[in-house]
Amino acid sequence: MKRLREAWQGFKAGTWLGWQIESNWTEPFLFAIYSVIKPVAGVLILVFMYLVVARGGLENPLFPRVFLGTTFYLYVVNVLSGISWAVQDDREHYGMLKYVYMAPMHLYGYLLGRGMAKTLIASVSVLITLAFGIVFLGVRFSSVNPGLFFPAFFLGLTALAFFGILLAGVSLLIARHGWVVGEVVAGGFYLLCGAAFPLSLLPGPLRALGLGLPPTYWFEALRRALLGQGLNPELEVLSDSALLLILAGASFLGIVLSVGVFRLSERIAVRRGLLDMQTMY
Amino acid sequence: MSPSWKVFLRTVAGRAYPRFIGVWREKSWLIFDVFFPLLQVSAYVYIYRAIGAPSEFAGFAVLGGAMIAYWMNVLWSMASQFYWEKETGNLQLYLIAPTSRMAILLGMALGGLTATTVRAAAIILAGALLFRVPLEVSDGALFFGVFILTLIALYGLGMLLSSLFLLWGREAWHLSNLFQEPVYLFSGFYFPVRALGFWAAALASVIPITLGLDAMRQLLYPRLMENFRFLRVEVELLLLVMLSGVFLALARLALHFFEGLARREGRLTLRGQ
């Protein structure tokens, strides 16, 4: 019970601090603009690629599915890189990780909280991008299925958060490439998980790798839940409930793996004195 | 050579040295700096394939990905550099050193440019091999001229931005972050900038990569670019010469002005902002 309370306290403190770090560097109005411009620009790159090349431009049947995958990918990059970045930022930049560790709260909960702050920011970006897509790009969510959307959304997000913690555990032990670990993994997910194109285009081994990654099923479930159809022919054989089952399994695996890896990393980091490492790298 | 020129040149060499040598000492960076952009480039190549684009468009993505390496270097290792130096406590050392700040910036630019060229070349090579991208330059000398002028103008812009960023704390970090996707969009890193419309492309030309990319694509894929070119290559070359001069001159003025302002407002040693 005490551990749970400490984890909750860490979660609350991490969420509050994460939100402050992300948002209070400027005026709220400028922060709002900042939050809109980045994701919308990312989607507009796709829009122009379609306008220049695709038959039918934005009327191309692939576009809504690609738009949706790219939009929800914002969660992947924010959550994965946000949590592992928090370790580097607190340790190398602000020199605060050792104090966080000494405080009567759980580091694991604290990092989840930092991820929560990133999730909140990503949610704002996703909502704005979806609204932009509906209003300006003519994307229509023709067959919304809340019974599939909400469980899939939360299961996928849970899996992402715990994989983020796993990366944070790895970041505890490394200095040099800690800054980019989350982004590299998120970039790999963009390529391998069918966020922006069907997996069938990838060479066999990469396709197999993609089919082993949870975000593939997450994007597919979200597309089915909002558009009524997925993007990948390989996944057509899976029913909606099978997709949910896979996502539930991935979340469970994420929790087990992240707890194990994080505990081990934490123990090694304490033993080697890495919690206050300052490499100036 | 007068002593002040000697100091200037030694400063340039001294500041460029760690960046240049860093590439060879810390080789694992090469993997991250090539592998990570290549993931993104690959994704864009597959998007083009998904919508049935001609193979030249894969070349657009690969060339754009390589030029992103330069833009990232300008953003994070030029524009934000004084912010990092402030955070690590080095900025004061730069300011009390008996040398020109422009020499420090120039050294940063030359070192970064050399190191990034290795990365950009690796991205192009890997992209060309992986995706069999056609890369046949119609006029090698002109292509080289466009490329060099793009880099001079771009690093001039980086020197200007680093002076502007001298005042800032975390804003510098977030602004560099902000100048990624929106600049990829407006400079047409992954598609011909003409698609944005003439006036939007003209506005985006303040970032030299916009003109450089368009010109290099025209020289690589002349037939395809007949329908997509923004301006003639010669005009873009001339504009790049002008941008280079303007940015370098502005960088000098801005450095002087913002250093004075930062001194007066006591921001040069402010850390953890």
Can you spell out the DSSP letters for B185-230? HHTTSSS-GGGG-HHHHHHHTTSHHHHHHHHHHHHH-HHHHTTT-S
Q: Which amino acid is at A7?
A: A
A151 within some domain: yes
Q: How many Å separate Cα A218 from the centre of its chain?
A: 11
CB nearest A62 (choices: B50, B184, B190):
B50
pLDDT at B18: 87
The stretch B25-33 carries a mean pLDDT of 73
Name the pTM for this structure. Answer: 0.88
Q: Is A2 left (phi over 0), alpha (psi -120 to 50) or beta?
A: alpha
Q: What tokens appear for B17 in the block?
A: 């040295």
Report the distance separating Cα A236 and Cα B236, nearest Å: 49
A279 within some domain: no
Q: How far is B173 from chain A (nearest CA, A)?
A: 10
Phi, psi of A69 (to 5 degrees): -60, -45
The DSSP output letter for B231 is S
Q: Which value, to the nearest 10 degrees, does the dihedral of the CA atoms of residues A17, A22, A28, A29 take?
A: -170
Q: Which residues, at least 6 apart from B33, have a Cβ–Cβ distance to it below 8 Å?
A: B69, B119
Domain count, chain A: 1
| Chain B residues with beta carbon closer than 8 angstroms to that of A46 | 47
CB nearest A190 (choices: B43, B48, B169):
B43
CB nearest B196 (choices: A25, A48, A177):
A48
* CA-wise closest residue to B104 among B230, B226, B8: B8
A193 within some domain: yes
Report the distance separating Cα A143 and Cα B152, nearest Å: 52
CB nearest A53 (choices: B39, B53, B181):
B53
- Nearest 5 degrees, angle CA A25-CA A74-CA A9? 60
**Is A41 within 8 Å of chain B by CB?**
yes
pLDDT at B272: 59
* Residue A247 structural domain: 2-272
Report the distance separating Cα B252 and Cα B247, nearest Å: 9
| Chain B residues with beta carbon closer than 8 angstroms to that of A39 | 181
CB nearest A191 (choices: B43, B50, B181):
B43
* B177 to chain A: closest CA residue: A38
Report the distance separating Cα A180 and Cα B32, nearest Å: 8
CB burial of residue A36 (10 Å; 0-12, 13-18, 19+): middle
pLDDT bracket for residue B222 (50, 70, 90):
very high
pLDDT values of chain A reduced to their tens digit, one per residue, 281 residues: 777 888 888 899 999 998 888 888 778 888 888 888 888 898 899 989 988 887 777 888 889 999 999 999 999 998 988 888 888 888 888 888 889 888 888 888 899 999 899 899 899 889 999 999 999 988 888 889 999 999 999 999 999 998 999 999 988 888 766 677 888 899 999 999 999 999 999 999 999 999 999 999 999 999 999 999 898 888 999 999 999 999 999 999 988 999 899 999 999 999 998 888 877 65
* A185 to chain B: closest CA residue: B36
pLDDT at B271: 64
| Chain B residues with beta carbon closer than 8 angstroms to that of A26 | 171, 174
A277 within some domain: no
| Chain B residues with beta carbon closer than 8 angstroms to that of A176 | 26, 28-29
Residues A87, A262 contacting (CB under 8 angstroms): no
ipTM: 0.88
A98 within some domain: yes
* CA-wise closest residue to B133 among B184, B201, B62, B70: B62
Residue B186 clears pLDDT 70, i.e. is over it:
yes
**Is B49 within 8 Å of chain A by CB?**
yes
Report the distance separating Cα B151 and Cα B69, nearest Å: 12
**Is B130 within 8 Å of chain A by CB?**
no
**Is A188 within 8 Å of chain B by CB?**
yes
First to last CA, chain A: 40
Residue B170 clears pLDDT 80, i.e. is over it:
no
A278 within some domain: no
A280 within some domain: no
* A51 to chain B: closest CA residue: B195
Q: Do B36 and A39 touch (CB under 8 A)?
A: no
Q: Picking from B20-34, B45-59, B110-124, which range would have the lowest pLDDT averaged per residue?
A: B20-34
Q: Which residues, at least 6 apart from A262, have a Cβ–Cβ distance to it below 8 Å?
A: A108, A165, A166, A168, A169, A172
A173 within some domain: yes
B272 or B130: which carries more pLDDT confidence?
B130
**Is A226 within 8 Å of chain B by CB?**
no
* B184 to chain A: closest CA residue: A45
pLDDT at B177: 83
Average pLDDT value for chain B: 88
Q: Do B178 and A37 touch (CB under 8 A)?
A: yes
**Is A33 within 8 Å of chain B by CB?**
no
DSSP assignment of A111-124, as one string? HHHHHHHHHHHHHH
CB nearest B192 (choices: A42, A52, A201):
A52
CB burial of residue A174 (10 Å; 0-12, 13-18, 19+): middle
**Is B195 within 8 Å of chain A by CB?**
yes
pLDDT at B270: 66
* CA-wise closest residue to B163 among B249, B87, B89: B249
